[in-house]
Structure 1
Amino acid sequence: MKVRFAPSPTGRLHVGNARVALLNWLWAKQQGGAFLLRMDDTDSERSTADFAAGIEEDLTWLGLSWDAFARQSDRGARYAAAVETLKTVGRLYACYETPEELELKRKLQLKSGRPPIYDRAGLRLTEAERAAFEAEGRRPHWRFRLEATPIFWSDAVQGDKHFEGQNLSDPVLLRGDGRPLYTLSSVVDDIELGITHVLRGEDHVGNTAVQVQLFEALGGAVPTFAHLPLLTDIAGQGLSKRLGALSLKALREDSLEAMTINSYLAKLGTPDPIAPYQDLDALTADFDVTRFGRATPKFDPGELEHLNAKLLHEMPYAKLRPWLEARGLTEVQEPLWLAVRGNLSRRGEIGLWRQVVHGEITPEIEEADYIAQAADLLPPEPWDETTWGSWTGVLKTATGRKGKALFLPLRKALTGQASGPELAALLPLIGRDKALLRMSGA
């Protein structure tokens, strides 16, 4: 198996693009196959090196390494050769209509209740008519002549698909300036680069019907296709590369975990529960392309936030450790991480609790007499996770306090915070000397 992700470097990736990349990657890895990254950069006006680098950066952050790489701007000679092959076998013909003339034809067809299918006027031109158009300065665009035969394929997501060739419009494969369109270049690449499976959005279903015949005309094997419903935002609007809030760059800058994005996108659109996965290996083992349905999936940032917190709450210390070491947070050892991870929504929030345990804080003393009494009753070390319960039990008996009145003043004095992780776990990490100092108001 060999799959490909083929973005156009005309903007940064959004979550809809990322979903296609991820599912291709998971499908290939689960089957022991290869993942190709192909830059479809033939749009020279909008494609930039910066956007291409950004796409690679985004994929690398997600952990989606590629086994092979191709760039369409390097493959012009291969598209030219394919054009000559199609001309030789009589499947490519020149057309001279201007965009305005084509639009007029389309409007007249619709007005008369006919589908807007190209009328193949280019096939009926005489040599004299072609010469006259050339003399006017018109440069032809070239269309692929479809056969009037049934087109079938078994879609891995949508099931059996059926089109009739005579009901489709001959697609333009070559612009008037000689540049190939996606319909041609993608098929040439898929054939020559050995792509066996194509997973993409359902907006390409019509392209696939045309491309099946194009694969056959160029002598290539037709890949297995899988077409997914397009992702929308929570309001049901389509996504765009220019939609910054849902770009991978913006999500990364918001300190969301890459595996949160992967976990969410891998299950969105399936009946399976969305749950946090700590690594791509676990996600790969659980991947099944046939689980994706036909309903439109909606990307919910709120659900993503919840999932990010849940992933952190289950994250083992070993996974976090390299990140801590890279930032010099070596004081954060496993007991501290296990004590506080259940209260985090971003891993960067560990800095606050590192300060609470290992640094200096400003204690909040609301009831000085009560806190002084609590300090007098503080048990000697060594401490463990039972110390908090024993100490507060003694305090409850001595003061008659309970609930919030018992616990909250202690929390504020010891941590400077009104809420946070269980003090049963934090208190032994803070230690007796620091606890006494803070309860004195220092």
Structure 2
Amino acid sequence: MTVIVRFAPSPTGYIHIGNARTALFNWLYAMQNGGQFVLRFDDTDVERSRQEYADATLYDLHWLGIFPDHVKYQSQRFDVYDQAVETLKAKGLLYPCYETEEELELRRKIRRTRKMPPVYGREALALTEQEKAEYEAEGRKPHWRFLLPNFVSDPLEPRSTKVTWNDIIRGKQTVDLASLSDPVLVREDGTYLYTLPSVVDDVDLGITHVIRGDDHVTNTGVQIEIFKALGAEPPTFGHHNLLTTASGEGLSKRSGALSLGGLREDGVEPMSIASLAVLHGTSENVIACHNMLELSEHFDPKTVSKSAAKFDPDELVTLNRTILHQMDFRDAQDRLGAHGVSGERAEEFWNVVRGNLDRLQDAAGWWRIVREGPHEPVLFGEDDLDFVRAAFNVLPEEPWDRTTWKTWTAAVREATGRKGKQLFTPLRLAITGRDSGPELADLLPLIGRDAMLARKP
């Protein structure tokens, strides 16, 4: 059996790091099992869905390193869902309901006051044809509910009915259908809610494994019964914990918080995001993996915790540093060029500065310092000013290499009597305008003697 997984976002906003967690879980599972990855846009909400969001999602996935084998749109498959609806109606498993939302809310309140669960009482099943016609005459259009198999012979007398499956992440899971309302599959305007198209597509596309967030656990119990009602074998399910902010707040496409596009613009490396999104909230240590193959070696669904995975976005900066500090010039070259870092000494420059970068674009600032000097004039006190001028007067002659810094500072120490921090800090400020950064022994050969003399205050 070929493993086929799917990632099914709704194109109603830009995907965030929490969505990336689901996509990556599926991608890595397919990698480990020689399977296929389907990107399916759940765009049945025609009012809120936008092609621009779908395009952005595909771009974000490619940027992460995920390349779908197939791309599908639910909005192009309504005829398939229509057939499934007719199948369920013919079996008596899809029934029309005419209640308004206000009427339904009133019934829920009444049930709560009676210490009963606020589930739908299936009142619509008792409607006569005349009553249905009267509702239609009033202008009411029905929504359609799926009749859950939680009864023996009379659906108005539901009983405890357990649906159980072996979850590849959470282990044995059970949902009691008696605790649920019959789900609405078709709205009054004839459009579909998520539940039915999802099942139909999983059947039609041959999805073997559905890996998604644990907010879908209850929904899975319902969908398993819809699979069976359509004569299909349910896939294997896996439900991972959700990424949340450190305060426990969930992520949302509507808010745009921590969107992949925003993180990319902020200079976060794709493998920093992938490493955190996959390994956080598991028993694995969150380490900076440098490619998907390495990440797949640390990915194990069985290590995922059952509690929410709270994270601090600052963790991405830490991972970013590790990835950049070990990044080969060939992997950074094109992006460095886009920031103006190019030429025959670009590789030497990269190897010198990468250990001091939080984000790749920070290299542009150091490139300017090497070529032009400090961004702003450095203001020295009188003592330090005299010291720096004296130091520049004893600059060694070229050629310069990594030993030049040691030679120069020895000469400065002999000429001025300064040593330690009092010697090094003013020189670093004069050369770079910053009080920290790459080793000056490495920077001096990149700068050269003439450019150094131009920095003499």
Aligned partner of 1:26 in structure 2 is 28
Q: How far apart, CA to CA, are the structure 2 residues paired with 1:408 and 1:118?
A: 74
Distance 1:327 1:377 in 2: 35
Tell me what 1:291 maps to: 303
Partner of 1:4: 6
Give the superposition deviation at 1:121.
2.1
Aligned equivalents of 1:245 and 1:205: distance in 2? 25
Structure 1 residue 158 displacement after superposition = 1.3
For the 8 Å contact 1:91–1:144, the answer to whether it is kept is yes
- Count residues in correspondence: 440
Cα deviation, 1:287-322, whole Å, max 9, x if unaligned, reads: 212111112111312222222223222222121012
User: For residue 287 of structure 2, what is the aligned residue in structure 1?
Assistant: 275
Letter in 1 for 2:440: L
Paired residues of 2:251 and 2:257 also in contact (CA < 8 A): no
Q: Which stretch shifts more, 72-81 or 372-381?
A: 372-381
How far apart in 1 are the matches of 2:339 and 2:431? 26
User: Which amino acid is 1:100 matched to?
Assistant: E
* Deviation for aligned residue 1:368: 4.5
Deviation at 1:391, TM superposition (A): 2.6
1:230 aligns with 2:247: no
**Equivalent position of 1:400 in the other structure:** 417
d(CA) in 2 for partners of 1:177, 1:352: 57
In the alignment, residue 413 of structure 2 is paired with which amino acid?
K
Relative to the length of structure 1, the TM-score reads: 0.93
Deviation at 1:372, TM superposition (A): 4.1
Task: Provide the C-alpha distance between the structure 2 equivalents of 1:365 and 1:102, rounded to a whole number of angstroms.
Answer: 73
SS in 1 for 2:174: strand
Please give the alpha-carbon distance, in whole angstroms, between the structure 2 residues aligned to 1:2 and 1:142. Answer: 31
Q: Secondary structure at the match of 1:151?
A: strand
Q: Which of residues 322, 330, 355 in structure 2 aligns to 1:342? A: 355
The amino acid of 2:346's aligned partner reads Q
1:424-435 map, 5 Å: 424-435=441-452
Q: CA deviation at 1:165?
A: 3.0
SS of equivalent to 1:244: coil
Comparing 130-139 with 15-24, greater Cα deviation is found at 130-139
Separation in structure 2 between the aligned mates of residue 113 and residue 360 of structure 1, nearest angstrom: 75
**Are 1:374 and 2:391 counterparts?**
yes
Q: Deviations over 1:96-126 (max 9, x none)?
A: 2222222121111111111122222222323
CA distance in 2, matches of 1:175, 1:435: 73
The residue matched to 2:72 in structure 1 has which SS?
strand
| Aligned pairs for 1:38-187 within 5 A | 38-148=40-150, 149-187=161-199
- 2:371 corresponds to: 358
Deviation, structure 1 residue 211: 0.4
State the Cα distance separating 1:375 from its structure 2 match.
3.5
* Residue 363 to residue 339, structure 1, CA distance change in 2 (3 Å): farther
TM-score (norm 2): 0.90
1:353, 1:328 → 2: CA distance?
11
Amino-acid identity (%): 51
Check conservation: 2:14, 2:253, Cα contact below 8 A: yes
Counterpart position of 1:311: 323
For structure 2, the 5+ residue unaligned runs are: 151-160
How far off its partner does 1:409 sit? Answer: 2.0
Q: Distance in 2 between matches of 1:114 and 1:207?
A: 21
SS in structure 2 opposite 1:438? coil
2: CA distance between counterparts of 1:52 and 1:207? 24
Give the Cα–Cα distance (whole angstroms) in 2 for the partners of residues 372 and 143 of structure 1: 84
Residue 220 of structure 1 is matched in structure 2 by 232
| Alignment-mate amino acid for residue 164 of structure 1 | D
How many Å separate the matches in 1 of 2:99 and 2:27? 42
Offset of 1:376 from its aligned partner?
4.2
Amino acid at match of 1:410: L
CA deviation after TM superposition for structure 1 residue 213, in Å: 0.7
Task: Give 5+ residue unaligned stretches, structure 1.
Answer: none
- Secondary structure at the counterpart of residue 341 of structure 1: helix
**Residue identity opposite 1:300 in structure 2:** D
Take 2:139 and 2:393, find their aligned partners in 1: how far apart are those partners?
Answer: 98
Q: Is the 8 A contact 1:92 1:142 kept in 2?
A: yes
Letter aligned with residue 266 of structure 1: V
> Offset of 1:200 from its aligned partner?
1.2
Post-superposition shift, 1:183? 0.9
SS state of the match for residue 238, structure 2? strand
Q: Displacement, 1:25?
A: 1.6
Moved more, 379-388 or 296-305: 379-388
Which stretch of structure 1 is more off in the superposition, 360-369 or 305-314?
Answer: 360-369
Separation (CA, whole Å) in 2 of partners of 1:368 and 1:137: 87
Given that 2:281 and 2:305 are in contact with CA atoms closer than 8 Å, whether structure 1 keeps it comes out as yes
Output the amino acid matched with 1:242: R
Q: Contact 2:13 / 2:256 at 8 angstroms: preserved in 1?
A: no
